[in-house]
Amino acid sequence: MSLKIAFCASNAPVAQSALAGLTRRYGNHAEEGADVIVALGGDGFMLHTMHRTQELEVPVYGMNRGTVGFLMNEYSEHGLEERLAAAEEAVINPLSMRAHRSDGSLHEELAINEVSLLRAGPQAARLAIHVDGKLRMPELVCDGALLATPAGSTAYNYSAHGPILPIGAEVLALTAVAAFRPRRWRGALLPKAAEVTFEVLEHEKRPVMAEADSQSVRDVLRVDIRSEPSVAHRVLFDPGHGLEERLIREQFV
């Protein structure tokens, strides 16, 4: 029996062209009744698709019509049903962010890659870091800090010189961005179940913004972050090209 495939694409012309070609060849089912969702675009569009469809519990298979495409498979119109039938599945739990703002409001977001805090003014941020309710770092002076999942460890975390994490490592990467003090702090590896709180010090003088997969919240006082096991994103990869292999490969380039 043929798979019911739902296609979606970014607004990029190359992605729209791929959408038209694949729809002619395989049809295009509604996402709610599909066996699989095929996302055409780059990593940003893949993250958007995973967030948008998380309630459907349908696996998502990405084909790269963007740039880096770390979360994507190679694009081809041919043999798609066979590739989908043979694909390997990775399950990703996002991070839950609770950002407390200076105006008293609370903003909650989910992040598949990372939650980051970034300075929002000319001066460096001053952050205190708590892990499971215990103060671990009274003061980190930096441009920012982030907590990354294994799936997001090759994204912003890697650019900030954080470690690459195997997909099954059950740990999170806590990484500083341009740390000034302590100058030589290299970050930390934390258990997946850890709850991390960033407390913003001198928030009026040194404003800080928080981001969860590019969803921004300004003027934060405190940000609480933990893994969210109740949400599971199912992502499909061609055999031999799954996240585990990609994470290993990235460490030798």
> Is 157 labelled a binding residue?
yes
> Is 67 labelled a binding residue?
no
> Is 43 labelled a binding residue?
yes
**Residue 190 in contact with residue 162, Cβ under 8 Å?**
no
Q: Which helix (H) or strand (E) holds 60?
A: strand 60-64
CB environment 171-193: b (16+ within 10 A), e (fewer): bbbbbbbebeeeeeeebbebeee
> Is 215 labelled a binding residue?
yes
> Is 212 labelled a binding residue?
no
CA distance 57 to 171: 24
> Is 145 labelled a binding residue?
no
Q: Which residue from 71, 113, 73 is spatially nearest to 93, judged by alpha carbons?
A: 113
The verdict on whether 43 is a catalytic residue reads yes
- Out of 43, 213, 219, 224, which one is annotated catalytic? 43
> Is 73 labelled a binding residue?
no
> Is 62 labelled a binding residue?
no
Is 46 strand, coil or helix? helix
Beta-bridge partner residues of 145: 117, 176
- Cβ neighbourhood burial of 102 (10 Å; 0-12, 13-18, 19+): middle
> Is 111 labelled a binding residue?
no
> Is 158 labelled a binding residue?
yes
Structure tokens at 203: 């928030």
> Is 85 labelled a binding residue?
no
The helix/strand count (H/E) of the chain reads as: 5, 17
CA distance 157 to 112: 13
The CA-CA-CA angle for residues 164, 92, 7, to 5°, reads 115
> Is 26 labelled a binding residue?
no
> Is 114 labelled a binding residue?
yes
Residue with tokens 């900030």: 160
Annotated binding site: 43-44, 48, 113-114, 143, 151, 154-159, 178, 215
Q: Binding site residues for NAD(+), as ranges?
A: 43-44, 48, 113-114, 143, 151, 154-159, 178, 215
Q: Which residues are catalytic?
A: 43
